[in-house]
Amino acid sequence: VDQLKVAVLGVGLIGGSIGLACRARAGAHVTGWDVDPGARERARERGAIDEAVTEIPVVVDGADIVFAAVPVSQLVPTVKVALTWAGPETIVTDVGSTKREIIEAISDRRFIGGHPLAGSELSGVTHAREDLFEGARWFLCDGDGACAGAGDAGASREGRKRLEDLIATFGAEPVTIDAGVHDRLMATVSQLPHVLANLLVAQASGEGEGMDVGDDSRSPIVGPSFRDATRVAGSNSAIWTDIYMSNREALLAAIDELIPRLERVRVLLREGDAEALTEWNEQARAQRKAVLGEAAGGADRP
Amino acid sequence: VDQLKVAVLGVGLIGGSIGLACRARAGAHVTGWDVDPGARERARERGAIDEAVTEIPVVVDGADIVFAAVPVSQLVPTVKVALTWAGPETIVTDVGSTKREIIEAISDRRFIGGHPLAGSELSGVTHAREDLFEGARWFLCDGDGACAGAGDAGASREGRKRLEDLIATFGAEPVTIDAGVHDRLMATVSQLPHVLANLLVAQASGEGEGMDVGDDSRSPIVGPSFRDATRVAGSNSAIWTDIYMSNREALLAAIDELIPRLERVRVLLREGDAEALTEWNEQARAQRKAVLGEAAGGADRP
């Protein structure tokens, strides 16, 4: 069989990990482009790409699959340029954390939206790993809303299979999803937790209200639960402002859903209803299990 | 010098760890009581106590320091019984997560409220560790509100020093705090994060709204950030209902402070103010550092 040709646009943590996985697991030839020449060079040194290229038209030339892994605000223009220069059988996909915006902006049957549920607060190709996607869900969606295999043309169907097969070699699971459902889901399980982490540290730091304990002790005033709950507070603004902006409609809806939930807990507390508080807490234990797909145990340390 | 005599009422995770630390680090003789005979027996087997005793009057007899480590709702009656039978020089303290309730209920110069910022979602003497308090802050407060050394009588001052010295041998740092400030602080850095974790899993589980992704994939729909943010969701109800009930006034205030913060983020999102979102996020990064007492790095993985 011919060697698979992959182009990666944006060789940061995700793009770099895609490159490493393509080369190590699919024996692919990987060309890479990044707006930052330093990142291109590091990607080559790390072995994330075979070849660093300075122009998008050159890097996508002859590629079977193109991954756009640039910041969310740059995705639409980057994918558009890639589609302009990509061949008729090439599949162009992205790895952005929001999907409706790009799905609505790109009308091209060679494009399939993507979002691997992987990553970390670490960024840059230096932290890229060929096993980053192992066991992860990799959402795919296209402009139809319907998606996956339901495609109405052979080229697209064959191209989608090519993409899904490659994702599977990464150890990830390709899962088709509607772009709107995807964005509402991410607003709740990703962006809302980030917002709450930011608000918790603001409130704990005594911004506004007087939370100052007024001592100069060396031990922390917070325990491990606060540390975990706020781990993502103040995550990389270069990435997160884009995500907030791109998914703000769904995030607003998630906030609008959270506030009445807070009001309901407030009522239980005000009424001092111990039984209802216990029931609410037990429900949360079961809900966490369900959401995390766990067979047993509520909190991580039960 | 005479061997220190310590009594522990309630030999769960915290009480058991106090017993282990007292024996290993202070060469103390530790007697233990628990309402559950099985827990008493396990505590003796684990070496957390030298002697298991079935009656509180017997266990506190002759003790220099008594630790009440029973659930929050049982603290006041337990401490009252202990004070009834304790000697005139004995110091009685507790380890409860809320302090105003007990400080207001107990009027006895032999009592000093306490709260070590340690523990985990694990419970029971089986998980007790002699190093559980290493590096942790151990809050102390008494009925004066003023506290620490400011005591107006020799016995109390000597007793406080005895307690502080013992806490220091655990590797913890005794820190004096006003009970009201303590409870407001804990409402924000501990109880509010627990409430939010419960609400996040409820919202993500699609309770009420339609969040169902409608697939039977094997990979999780949430990433590591959601897992961390909700680690404490559905924590042990036997402990947490008590804590919510005992500190509900401060927790209500914390919720009342959070809601307007959410409303402000909502405005930034609705207005699509990228610059203000970035500034807000950068502030959170700095605030987390300040709250966690970190020298560098915003999120744990920078």
Q: Which of B115, B122, B188 to mutate against chain A (most A CBs within 10 Å)? A: B188
Mode of pairing for the β-strands spanning B111-116 and B5-9: unpaired
Starting from the edge strand earliest in sequence, which strands make up the sheet with A111-116, in order?
A51-52, A29-33, A5-9, A65-68, A91-94, A111-116, A137-141, A173-176
Q: How confident is the model at residue B220 (pLDDT cuts 50, 70, 90)?
A: confident
Residue type, A30: V
Q: How confident is the model at residue A220 (pLDDT cuts 50, 70, 90)?
A: confident
- Give A92 or B302, the one with higher predicted confidence: A92
pLDDT over 60 at A210, yes or no = no
- Give A170 or A236, the one with higher predicted confidence: A170
Q: How many residues does chain B have?
A: 302
**For residue A267, what are the contacts with CB-CB under 8 A and spacing of at least 6?**
none
Residue of A nearest to B236 (CA): A302
B199, burial (CB in 10 Å: exposed 0-12, middle 13-18, buried 19+): buried
Mean pLDDT in residue range A97-121 = 91
At B123 the pLDDT is 83
Q: How confident is the model at residue B215 (pLDDT cuts 50, 70, 90)?
A: low
Q: How confident is the model at residue A225 (pLDDT cuts 50, 70, 90)?
A: confident
Partners of B265 on chain A (C-beta within 8 Å) are: 195, 198-199, 255
Distance, C-alpha A213 to centroid of its chain: 38
- Give A143 or A289, the one with higher predicted confidence: A289
* Listed residue (A20, A95, A24, A190) closest to B225, CA to CA: A190
| DSSP conformational letter for B85 | H
- Is the CB of A230 less than 8 angstroms away from the CB of B288? yes
Mean pLDDT in residue range B206-216 = 57
At B299 the pLDDT is 41
At A143 the pLDDT is 61
The proportion of chain B whose per-residue pLDDT surpasses 70, expressed as a percent, equals 88
CA dihedral angle for residue B235, residue A213, residue B118, residue B302, rounded to 10 degrees: 80
At B246 the pLDDT is 94
pLDDT over 50 at B70, yes or no = yes
Q: Which of A101, A241, A264, A268 to mutate against chain B (most B CBs within 10 Å)? A: A241
Q: How confident is the model at residue A102 (pLDDT cuts 50, 70, 90)?
A: very high
Closest CA of chain A from B26, distance in Å: 21
Least confident of B53-62, B86-95, B211-220: B211-220
At B213 the pLDDT is 56
Separation CA A111–CA A92 (nearest Å): 5
> Ranked by mean pLDDT, which of A50-64, A109-123, B207-221 comes out on top?
A50-64
H or E element in which residue A7 lies = strand A5-9
What does the angle CA B71 – CA B73 – CA B79 come to, to the nearest 5 degrees?
Answer: 80
Mode of pairing for the β-strands spanning B29-33 and B5-9: parallel
Minimum-distance CB partner of A255 among B241, B255, B266: B266
H or E element in which residue A6 lies = strand A5-9
8 Å CB contact between A274 and B241:
yes
Q: How confident is the model at residue B150 (pLDDT cuts 50, 70, 90)?
A: very low
Minimum-distance CB partner of A136 among B137, B219, B302: B219
Give, in order, the Cα–Cα distances in Å from B149 to each of B88, B99, B176, B179, B273: 19, 19, 9, 16, 51
Q: How confident is the model at residue B151 (pLDDT cuts 50, 70, 90)?
A: very low
Mean pLDDT in residue range B68-87 = 96
Ranges assigned E (strand) in B25-64: 29-33, 51-52
At B142 the pLDDT is 77
Q: How confident is the model at residue B199 (pLDDT cuts 50, 70, 90)?
A: very high
Can you state the angle between helices A179-186 and A248-271, rounded to 10 degrees? Answer: 40
Least confident of A95-104, A244-253, B120-129: B120-129
Q: What is the DSSP string of A121-133?
A: S--SGGG--TTTT
- Is the CB of A241 less than 8 angstroms away from the CB of B277? yes
Q: Which of B117, B217, B222, B266 to mutate against chain A (most A CBs within 10 Å)? A: B222
Separation CA A83–CA A102 (nearest Å): 13
At A297 the pLDDT is 40
Partners of B208 on chain A (C-beta within 8 Å) are: 257
> Ranked by mean pLDDT, which of B134-143, B155-164, B188-197 comes out on top?
B188-197
Residue of B nearest to A238 (CA): B278
A262 — phi, psi (to 5°)?
-60, -40
pLDDT over 90 at A87, yes or no = yes
Q: How confident is the model at residue B154 (pLDDT cuts 50, 70, 90)?
A: very low
At B156 the pLDDT is 76
Residue recorded with tokens 């959402």: A139
At A130 the pLDDT is 97
Query: What value of ipTM does the predicted structure carry?
Result: 0.85
At B206 the pLDDT is 81
- Is the CB of A283 less than 8 angstroms away from the CB of B226? no
- Is the CB of A288 less than 8 angstroms away from the CB of B240? no
Residue of B nearest to A181 (CA): B213
Q: Which residues pair with B111 in a beta bridge?
A: B92
Number of Cβ within a 10 Å radius of residue B214: 8
At B18 the pLDDT is 98
Partners of B266 on chain A (C-beta within 8 Å) are: 252, 255-256
pLDDT tens digit string along B248-259? 999 999 999 999
Separation CA B85–CA A17 (nearest Å): 66
| DSSP conformational letter for B127 | G
At B121 the pLDDT is 67
At B119 the pLDDT is 75
Ranges assigned E (strand) in chain B: 5-9, 29-33, 51-52, 65-68, 91-94, 111-116, 137-141, 173-176
At B25 the pLDDT is 98
Q: What is the largest CA-CA distance in chain A?
A: 70
Q: How confident is the model at residue A219 (pLDDT cuts 50, 70, 90)?
A: confident
- Is the CB of B217 less than 8 angstroms away from the CB of A136? no
Mode of pairing for the β-strands spanning B111-116 and B137-141: antiparallel
What does the angle CA A142 – CA A193 – CA A258 come to, to the nearest 5 degrees?
Answer: 95
pLDDT over 70 at A291, yes or no = yes
At A147 the pLDDT is 42
At B240 the pLDDT is 93
Partners of A189 on chain B (C-beta within 8 Å) are: 200, 204, 221-223, 226
Minimum-distance CB partner of B262 among A208, A258, A284: A258
Chain A with chain B: Cβ pairs closer than 8 A: 341
Considering only CA atoms, give the Rg of chain A: 22
pLDDT over 50 at A149, yes or no = no
Q: How confident is the model at residue A292 (pLDDT cuts 50, 70, 90)?
A: confident
Which two tokens mark B205? 């589980």
Separation CA B190–CA B299 (nearest Å): 19
B5 — phi, psi (to 5°)?
-110, 120
Closest CA of chain A from B171, distance in Å: 11
Partners of A201 on chain B (C-beta within 8 Å) are: 284, 287-288, 291
